Amino acid sequence: MTDNIPDEIREELYDLHARTCKAMANKTRIKILDSLKQGERRVDELAEALNTTAPNVSQHLSLLKKEGIVCKRQEKRYAFYSICDRRIVKACNLVKEVMLDRLQKKEESLSRVSRYAEDFMGGE
């Protein structure tokens, strides 16, 4: 896919990809994005939904905005945040699918281990 792309552009894409992933690699920011899937929200609404403080949410939103992941719309004294590109939602959902599959495989593995452990211990 990147074979025809000049080296300088490829490097820029890798850098942007890394920065985007890094910006989203935080549990609070993932929760913010999850909350914004339903539509735009104010900082206070997000803080209440995430059971945290407005300054904490603002700090995370600032980073997400800097990386172009969320957009801000000002209406009088209120700032509304939304996901800029809905493909971010698709990307997050895809990652969640992978994580759910991994978790399911882990649970299946633990279940098998538990059965064998019981046999190993003589059924006690």
Q: Are residues 76 and 95 in the same domain?
A: no
Residue 116 has a pLDDT of: 74
pLDDT band at 107 (very low <50, low <70, confident <90, very high): confident
One domain for residues 41 and 93: no
- State yes or no: pLDDT of 81 exceeds 70: yes
Q: What is the pLDDT of residue 111?
A: 79
- Total count of domains within the chain: 2
Q: How many angstroms separate the CA atoms of 9 and 15, rounded?
A: 10
Q: Which domain holds residue 104?
A: 86-124
Q: Are residues 18 and 33 in the same domain?
A: yes
**10, 67: one domain:** yes
Q: What is the arithmetic mean of pLDDT over 24-40?
A: 96
Q: Are residues 78 and 115 in the same domain?
A: no
- Mean pLDDT for the chain overall: 91
90/75 same-domain check: no
